[in-house]
Amino acid sequence: MLFTPGVWLGGMVSAAGVCAPDGHELTCWQTGFWGAFLRELQRREPSGLDHNWVSCFGYTPTTAETILQQWVVAEDQLQWIPQAQLELVHSRADRITGLDVQTLDGPCRVTAEVFIDGSDLGDLLATADQPFRWGWESKEPWAEPSAPTRKRLQSEPFFRDQPIQSPTWVVMGQLNGDCSVGRDRPRLPHPFEASPVAFGLEKTITYGRLPGGLVMLNWPLHGNDWHHNLERAISPNPTVRNDLAADMQRHSHTFLDALQTCSSNWIGPGQAFPGTDTSLALMPYWREGRRLVGRSTVTENDLLPVQPGARRGPLPMHSNGSCSSIAIGTYANDHHYPGEDWPLAPKSVHWGGRWTGTPFCIPFNALITDAFSNLIVAEKGFSVSHIANGATRLQPLILNIGQAAGLAAAMAVQRAIPLADLPVRDLQLALIHNREAPAAVMPIWEWPIWHPHWAEAQERALLHPDQLGADGHLAGQLQTDFQRPAPDQAPRDRFERTHQGEFRRRADGSMELLNGRSNIPLITLEPAIHTCLDSLEDRGSTLELRGVMNPWGPWLRVTGVTNHKRRS
């Protein structure tokens, strides 16, 4: 049984309107539910997914929601109950025995062997009256490089006033024709005026451009992030929670109104959601909520490269020497607060012509707790520190954590064992070899999900984690039997075209193609293409490429290198 609070299934990917996801863009990370979701989006969006500059994937909320609902309908054993409200949790000793849920058909009592909290704010955790984490932790418990000291936490008002990352209530705009970039426009009013000053009006507006000229307004810099009295998010009083929602909604509408005035009506309200206000997302985009006190906790130290120049964090290991990872995250740590950016230890690399986050692993023990032997916590509420939550909160990882949670629950029920007794190796192999959505559990850079050796590479690295290098590549004997991906082997994209020109690398590490008429910036999401382009000298190589143009990037997303030669 699946209970959701609204009329839509989705959280971030549809109902919250965050339809230009960050992270997991490389094809080696397009695995599991996230990869299956992406491939369905690419198949269904008539104009493709290359529409904005914040993400390589832009889609409409209705397309995403249609995919999710069709997935659920296709599962004969899954019953979805929308517009439900959790009222009470019943427990005995270390087990949850049932839930009281208010539905459109009235109250019901739900009993089950395993319960999963997939809510944005950790609703089941709170209703069960169990300890949870909320907000900041000091540097002292885990020695996280970016955490404040206990003294600062206790003395500086900022940490009291800003207990969690700022949420956003996404509002959808609609572009009306082309932007006249050179026109004089009114300045945005305070407090929004810093947005076009820092980035320019066009960059501010097209940040989250989607198919059909829809625009996801989820702008952090003097935009529609909300920073005030966020403790109301977990108030037991529904009136207090509703007041917070109303404040956030008004603020986002004010931001859209300001952009509409400033752009001389280039952008106006969009139509993207059901209901009377079709421009306003059905729920807020919560970046952080209550967090589980789990059997293990993911901290910032688990995200960061293990040594200078490394491309991954440490592998979570059992005492028996096996790896306990059940999902891969890749997002660069990113925190939203008012004022200056919070200084965070870097965990990004320049790869494929753009910056991307380095991968890290989520251990199974971060999803379960000693408090309840039959509870799994997914979404953003699994056991993670406040600082690390800035990298673990994004849609791609959350989808794949949900996949691991559901599969673990099913396996535990089938075997009639507690969750803690489930062999993690069995769960990992089931994820890797899942028929419809095979999911990565090991952070291997060079093997894209479409490659015939992908599953074998994942399994070999799982069995021999000591031979997965700190750079994310298989080492020694593990890779000698594989036919490595080729730079023209990736699946075709229906929007790709052939381009020819001279390759040039810029001083900042970015790449471009000179074709006589223009200089085209290049990016790629394919490991073999990255390796090929990285091997070229700064200039002088003539290339023939397959790729998809994104004028809002602006860049050419290279999908294949069909020919390259060095000019003599």
What confidence score (pLDDT) does residue 201 get? 86
What confidence score (pLDDT) does residue 477 get? 62
What is the total count of domains within the chain?
1
Cis peptide before 191 (omega within 30 of 0): yes
**Helix or strand or coil: residue 8?**
coil
pLDDT digit string, tens, across residues 260-305? 998 999 999 999 999 999 999 999 999 999 999 999 999 999 999 9
Strands 115-117 and 539-550: unpaired
Alpha carbon dihedral 93, 95, 97, 101, in 10-degree steps, equals: 110
Which residue segment(s) compose the domain that 555 sits in?
497-566
- Chain-centroid distance of CA 477 in Å reads 34
What confidence score (pLDDT) does residue 508 get? 86
- Reported pTM: 0.95
Establish if 382 belongs to a structural domain.
Answer: no
**Helix or strand or coil: residue 113?**
coil
What confidence score (pLDDT) does residue 182 get? 42
What confidence score (pLDDT) does residue 480 get? 63
What confidence score (pLDDT) does residue 221 get? 80
Q: In angstroms, rounded to a whole number, what is the distance separating the alpha carbons of residues 257 and 222?
A: 14
User: Which stretch of DSSP H or E encloses residue 521?
Assistant: strand 519-524
The DSSP bridge partners found for residue 225 are 168
Q: In angstroms, rounded to a whole number, what is the distance separating the alpha carbons of residues 110 and 112?
A: 7
What confidence score (pLDDT) does residue 180 get? 46
Establish if 536 belongs to a structural domain.
Answer: yes
Q: In angstroms, rounded to a whole number, what is the distance separating the alpha carbons of residues 341 and 524?
A: 28
Spell out, as residue ranges, where the chain has pLDDT lower than 70: 178-186, 190, 477-481, 566-568
Establish if 96 belongs to a structural domain.
Answer: no
The amino acid at residue 8 is W
**Helix or strand or coil: residue 214?**
strand
- Chain-centroid distance of CA 315 in Å reads 20
What confidence score (pLDDT) does residue 413 get? 97
What confidence score (pLDDT) does residue 328 get? 98
| Helix, strand, coil tally for the chain in percent (to 5) | 30, 20, 50
b (16+ CB within 10 A) / e for 89-111: bebeeeebeebebeeeeeeeebe
Establish if 531 belongs to a structural domain.
Answer: yes
Residues 6+ apart with CB under 8 A from 155: none
What confidence score (pLDDT) does residue 321 get? 87
Establish if 130 belongs to a structural domain.
Answer: no
Task: Provide the CB-side half-sphere exposure for 450 (13 A, CA).
Answer: 16
Q: In angstroms, rounded to a whole number, what is the distance separating the alpha carbons of residues 232 and 363?
A: 31
Establish if 223 belongs to a structural domain.
Answer: no
> Tokens 């799994």 correspond to what residue?
376
Question: Between the CA of residue 290 and those of 137, 295, 362, what are the distances in Å?
Answer: 13, 16, 18
Establish if 252 belongs to a structural domain.
Answer: no
Helix 32-44 vs helix 61-73: angle between axes, to the nearest 10 degrees? 120
Q: What is the tally of helices (H) and strands (E) in the chain?
A: 13, 21
Establish if 260 belongs to a structural domain.
Answer: no
CATH number of domain containing 528 = 2.40.50.140
What confidence score (pLDDT) does residue 566 get? 63
Helix 395-415 vs helix 32-44: angle between axes, to the nearest 10 degrees? 120
